[in-house]
Amino acid sequence: MKRLCLLGLIALSVACPVLAESRLDDKPSFIEQLLRQMTLQEKIGQLRLISIGADMPRERLAEELAAGNVGGTFNSVTRQDNRPLQDAALRSRLKIPIFFAYDVIHGHRTIFPIGLGLASSWDMQAVATAGRVAAIEASADGLDMTFAPMVDIARDPRWGRTSEGFGEDPYLVSEIARTMVGAYQGKSLRNPGSLMASVKHFALYGAVEGGRDYNVVDMSPLRMHQDYLPPYHAAIDAGAGGVMVALNTINGVPASANRWLLRDLLREDWGFSGVTISDHGAITELLRHGVAADGREAAKLAIDAGLDMSMADSLYGQHLAELVQAGDVPIQAVDQAVREVLGAKYDLGLFHDPYRRIGQASEDPPEVNAESRLHRQAAREVARQSLVLLENRNNVLPLDTDRIALVGPLADSHIDMLGSWSAAGVAKQTVTLRQAMQAALGEHGRLVYARGANVTDDEKLVEYLNFLNWDNPEVVQDPRPADQMIAEAVAAARQADVVVAAVGESRGMSHESSSRTSLQLPASQQALLRALKQTGKPLVLVLMNGRPLSLAWAQANADAMLETWFSGTEGGHVIAEVLFGDYNPSGKLPISFPRSVGQIPTYYNHPRLGRPFVEGKPGNYTSQYFDEPNGPLYPFGYGLSYTQFSLSPPRLSTEVLSRGQSLDVSVTLKNIGKHDGATVVQLYIHDLAASVVRPVKELKGFRKVWLKAGEEQQVRFSVGENELKFVDAQLRQVAETGMFEVQVGLDSQHVQTQRFELR
């Protein structure tokens, strides 16, 4: 097939003679020259982002591309599929290339731990590795853009998309946002191994009411600016080329029609100059929100608000031309949106070479899903750091026996190792826990396996999970009666010295549109665990899930609990390494685990109260639940190790901090146990008195430190005005004079303190 591309000025002059006047190395001039040559219909075409297959069959899409009616596509993930589409785009009058996008969230072909797992590493190098490998693999498949990172703050774990993000804390999520953008985009977006990051979901999607997906968000401006907006801003500051706009309303106005959000805040206040993209079908949904009477008004609201590209578009294509011709939408609004789209393509290097990431047919891999294309070692190294040890009574872990019963519906489930939004990951290329433990034990050990239960026996939920697994079909249900499966698991347990139970959620239970009213393990698995407990054998729970679960029974009855989230392609090997002691777990929770769903929201940096509950004191007339202990079951920043660490009280370089200066906070961390290992030293700041109510504490720094047994190390932090700033009642970033408390610990609850004054 003939390769059409705009390589340099010679090719440009052939494609469109007028563009020969504009130099490719002068971005503004090039885009303005191109814009002047475009018809209104061609401009509108650039604002349409089409889903391949779902929105438009390939045959029709090729016709639309050749007519210049499409700006980009998504859901096509191989060079062989993308090449003919680019060919079609370059048959259009102006030969403007399209870009190819996809949801590359936690890996592309090699799947890394889900977002909560990556955040549990508290290791920005591990996070960067996941993002960089994903970019290399996705760009090698011809992709130009990813709808990631997902940086929505999540404080209600009922929300299914909690699994995609990085937890509850603005500081930690912002650090990861910066890291992921840099990893995806690399040193230059023109490099073949780069992907443009389109940060999502702008904005406040994680705060949907009741944790129910697509629900409304009603939030004070102060909380918005202090807690929920910082991660998006961090991604923009890191250079994210795109922003995906959220599906929710914000204080009564849908994000897709929210001029304040997209023009005033994003463009004017934050200086964003990239492309904004609606979420799937969001402009059409303005009718169902009730802010648009018809498709024409919906298109007008969106373009007026500053929404550049319409994902899964129908309304821009149908109505923008007539809106402009009628004078209801100024042509300048359309032109500005087109500038952003063309600018993104320019930054991606597509005008220099439309086949930059697609390459030539002779360069295509012989097998799309070839094992050689995976980065297994990187996946293992990252996943190791994502596992969080929640309990370990009597040091039952690491396992010191070779007679083990492995039970549970997730012990041998390839597809559930992937987690939600697993891009081009192939289920059968994952390593399950059963496979890995059998390999680790070898011929001399004995692993007795029994499924024991289905993930759930709820027929409606099973039907939904099967729907979500259409692209990776695998048997979800064992048809045998529940009591027969439990009996088999109990028999397996009686043959072993210890029981390892892999329980939790199917990946589809922590997914878009998978909100839950309960955080309990499904009834089928609860019955299995109670039966296993009755055997009297030590019980080790391996949790696989995409949200915090209510684990009160498990905490009271299990001998050990290991939170593994959905740990990806190499997940089984990594879990086995930790169970057998080949790797010492070092993960820390990026989100609090409530005792029950009734405690939601439970997050560590909650505002101070006039009548706070104080542990150990009478609770009458204080903020409490009288029927359950206050506070989380497992707090933010929590995670155990096979060794023990001691931390000295913090030492301050000064007790008085002047504006423009900084003070040093130092602590001595010592490994006082018998194993080498790593932990995370966490720095929190507490503002004792301010002009608005402030949180009880806020994370402002962390260091992951690896120490040999008996080794110690001094850990230092620097605290200046930036660490003390907050949003005041006038929405200004200020650092007010007064007393502050430094808190340092290995989780958010158990801290040691020192005070200083800002003058």
C-alpha closest to that of 115 among 511, 559, 554, 516: 511
C-alpha closest to that of 744 among 689, 709, 703, 694: 703
For residue 6, how many other CB atoms are within 10 A of its CB?
Answer: 24
| Spatial distance between the Cα atoms of 407 and 684, rounded to a whole number of angstroms | 40
Amino acid at 697: K
Amino acid at 251: N
| Spatial distance between the Cα atoms of 453 and 409, rounded to a whole number of angstroms | 6
The two structure tokens encoding residue 266: 């994003």
Segments in 16-157 forming alpha helices (H): 27-37, 40-46, 58-66, 79-89, 115-120, 124-140
| Spatial distance between the Cα atoms of 570 and 29, rounded to a whole number of angstroms | 48
61-84 residues labelled b (16+ CB within 10 A) or e (exposed)? bbebbbbbbbbbbbbbbbbebbbe
The two structure tokens encoding residue 291: 């802010």
Indicate which residue of 103, 123, 156, 279 is catalytic. 279
**Residue appearing with tokens 């169970």:** 579
What's CA 328's distance to the chain center, in Å? 39
The two structure tokens encoding residue 428: 């059968």
User: How many CA atoms within 13 Å lie on the side-chain side of 441?
Assistant: 21
| Spatial distance between the Cα atoms of 673 and 643, rounded to a whole number of angstroms | 5
Please report the DSSP string for 579-647 in residue order. Answer: HTTSS------SS-B-SSGGG-S--TTPBP-SSB--TTS--TTSB--TTS-SS-SB-TT--B-SS-EEE
Please report the DSSP string for 282-345 in residue order. Answer: TTTHHHHHTS-SSHHHHHHHHHHHT--BEET-SHHHHHHHHHHHTTSS-HHHHHHHHHHHHHHH
Residue 116 to residues 109, 124, 393, 441, 714, Cα–Cα distance (Å): 19, 13, 25, 30, 29
First to last CA, the chain: 71
Residue 585 to residues 400, 547, 591, Cα–Cα distance (Å): 17, 19, 17
728 is catalytic: no
The two structure tokens encoding residue 378: 């990187």
Per the CB < 8 A criterion, the answer to whether 321 and 41 are in contact is yes
For residue 663, how many other CB atoms are within 10 A of its CB?
Answer: 19
Residues in the chain: 759
524 contact partners, CB below 8 Å, separation of at least 6: 409, 453, 454, 455, 456, 457, 482
Tell me the backbone φ, ψ of residue 274, rounded to 5 degrees: -90, -160
C-alpha closest to that of 455 among 501, 524, 509: 524
Per the CB < 8 A criterion, the answer to whether 149 and 119 are in contact is no
| Spatial distance between the Cα atoms of 745 and 275, rounded to a whole number of angstroms | 41
| Spatial distance between the Cα atoms of 364 and 358, rounded to a whole number of angstroms | 9
Catalytic residues, by residue number, are: 279
